[in-house]
Chain A
């Protein structure tokens, strides 16, 4: 690249993480370490019923038998699970929020700084927000309005107490406790997260949204989200994530389960901006090991994942769809940006079980600086899945010449009537494109974000409108300083 553009790109990479401030609130934090006593204490702290405590313990025992996965295309220092604290909550929140007025103003200010106005009057029209601060759900807005429609949207800790029959029935039904190392750990120690239930035939009247924030030092965040859509129900849910800058890597091991009955439609969008770690050394930053899975259980059910991943030091994440119902549909739209020393290993799994099931995968990977971006996708067509269809498109864009993009598509077809289409491309942001923009009066910085946004357009189009704008901005900020 010519000097000028490289300079500007470099300056953009210099841009530091903007959500990296620490909030000064009094925290109640468990000492680091994990054993059965810690789990019992945690469960008691959350005033959980006995069955829940037992459920956690059985997951913990499974976890003890399991090994950390090593197959992802990423390298990192091993995590010391005994050095992490498994519970941290702002003290004033220990009993959970009753209304916004009870939320610590300092926490509210944190969310404001992050651009998440919690107060209902300031909110994006029609978005209900559940905010998780470290381990505890801080506030859930718009609950009454949702309740009128019969929608339950609350912290999962509350659902365990108030809707035990639903939680018992569905928790672990999509991601079993022993599914993988991180899912087992999450099942044992999950702290909070969101619970959504949409009754039969109800179209959720607004976007639902959760913001996760890790604040305390050396804590892990293990949220658990469970979304259930009954027959013909429809919901769109968005999660956003940030964390302060720390020298220690923090662990984020979430589990998200989506359960769609016949003709139900669940759309799950993520805008993830965890602290990516120091640009030069990769120190600090979030380890993001997440298990997300949706079960399209009934006929014509639809599960759609959209993700914009710009943060984290390491991301290990494959939102997947199990297409069990005949005619069910799975979608995965992803933008993953890795810059500095970030490593992203992400993709999806589409498991076609029922007949006439279709899946679509659109993945856009952007690598800048020393970033490494891996797409890993699996499409599996089982024996009984007559006339299954999959379309996959994986595009990679490289900014600078020290980054990398890798694509690993795994295809397993056990039914000869399957139709598979796969497209892949890798492009380098061209000096030609930037010069063309410059020649029309657009400076290099704006040109870069325009080109990258254009590249991601198919995915941004899938995001709810308000968040598409946010995602675009986030990408711009993240790109500031993108070549080494």
Chain B
């Protein structure tokens, strides 16, 4: 069954059209990779799916669990199990990571009519999840992302994902800025969360990540459109040839 179905999605920021008709179907349990040059609209797609409001959807439709996703406010999308790991995670001074996560998890649980977790329960739950990305205890008590190194921020995003237990995880360049060890840890973390009941959309520039997180499908986004889709071998091809050969192909017939 398809978990996420993006149909002919057109998105505009201020006066510029950024997404120019994106189609994407993600089934339950699948991992999709999205690659593409800088500025092609990958983050825009992720942000629109997560509910960022500056982006105006001018055409198209997005179904999530068979329902109109674009109607929901961002917090309800999150509560329905949509998670986005930010390319640039935001700092929230004075709010501890653990406090933040408890508020987040309980908001989600409340929405699902589950009982809220108290502090003790939550702490033991969170300690389990920390193992997923080998998080250090000190990062729990520190303010959300404040003063975290680039790599720590990315790892923290995956940690949040593990705690919030989403149905769809959208990872926006979580591998950028990671050293090779951290990359492996993050990839292992994601792999350990892979299941038949969870899907991922992984945005990346590097085939390297896809050696660890092996995708079912790879898509190439160029200038706001998916210009090629294929299996994991497409990523390898891109690594060799770059994006130019795809861009050339696109320009002529479409002529937007």
A residues contacting B by CB (< 8 A) are 2-5, 430-433, 435-444, 446, 450-451, 453-458
Please count the residue pairs between chain A and chain B whose beta carbons lie under 8 angstroms apart in the complex: 85
B111 (CB) vs chain A CBs: closest residue: A441
Q: List the B side residues contacting A432 at CB < 8 Å.
A: 90
- How long is the Cα–Cα vector from A252 to B143 in the complex, in angstroms? 39
Q: A432-B90, A438-B75 are in contact. Are A451 and B53 (CB under 8 A)?
A: no
Interface size on B, residues (CB 8 A): 32
Asked whether B94 is an interface residue with its Cβ less than 8 Å from the other chain, the reply is yes
Specify which of B90, B92, B107 is in contact with A441 (CB 8 Å cutoff): B107
A440-B92 CB under 8 A given contacts A4-B73, A446-B103, A446-B107:
no
Contact between B75 and A443 (Cβ–Cβ < 8 Å)? yes
- CB atoms of B107 and A454 under 8 A apart: no
Check if A436 sits within 8 Å of B94, measured CB to CB: no
Closest chain B CB from A317 CB (angstroms): 24
Known contacts being A4-B53, A439-B74, A440-B78, is A457 close to B94, with CB within 8 Å? yes
Picked from A437, A441, A456, the residue with its CB within 8 Å of the CB of B79 is: A441
Question: A438 and B143 in contact (CB under 8 A), knowing A450-B92, A454-B95?
Answer: no
A450–B100 CB distance below 8 A? yes
| CB pair B93 A455 closer than 8 Å | yes
CB nearest to A457 among chain B residues: B94
B160 at the interface (CB under 8 A from A): yes
Q: A433-B92, A455-B94 are in contact. Are A440 and B51 (CB under 8 A)?
A: no
Q: Which residues does B use to contact A, with CB under 8 Å? A: 50-54, 73-75, 77-79, 83-84, 86, 89-95, 100-101, 103-105, 107-108, 111, 143, 160, 164
A-B contact pairs, 29 of them (CB 8 A): A2-B52, A4-B73, A5-B53, A430-B90, A431-B54, A433-B92, A435-B74, A435-B90, A436-B86, A438-B51, A439-B51, A439-B75, A439-B77, A439-B78, A440-B78, A440-B104, A440-B164, A441-B75, A441-B78, A441-B104, A441-B108, A442-B104, A443-B75, A451-B95, A454-B94, A454-B95, A455-B93, A456-B94, A458-B94
The winner among A5, A430, A435, A458 for most chain B CB atoms within 10 A is A435
Interface class of chain A by DSSP: helix
Task: Give the complex CA separation of A91 and B95 in angstroms.
Answer: 48
Those 7 A-B pairs whose CB atoms lie nearest each other, nearest first: A454-B94, A2-B53, A454-B95, A457-B94, A440-B104, A438-B74, A441-B78
Known: A438-B51, A440-B78. 4 other contacts (CB 8 A): A435-B52, A438-B74, A438-B78, A446-B107
Contact partners of B100 in chain A: CB under 8 A: 437, 440, 450
In chain B, what residue has the closest Cβ to A2?
B53
Complexed CA–CA distance, A5 and B84 (Å): 19
Determine how close the nearest CB of chain A comes to the CB of B212; give it in whole angstroms. Answer: 25
Most buried by A among B50, B84, B86, B94: B94
With both beta carbons as reference points, the residue of chain B lying nearest to A460 in the complex is identified as B94
Which residues of B are found within 8 Å of A436, using beta-carbon distances? Answer: 86, 89-90, 92
What CA separation (Å) do A433 and B92 show in the bound complex?
A: 7
A298: min CB distance to chain B, Å: 35
A453 & B52 in contact (Cβ 8 Å cutoff): no
B204 CB to nearest A CB, Å? 20
Q: Which residues of the partner chain A approach B95 to less than 8 Å between Cβ atoms? A: 450-451, 453-454, 457
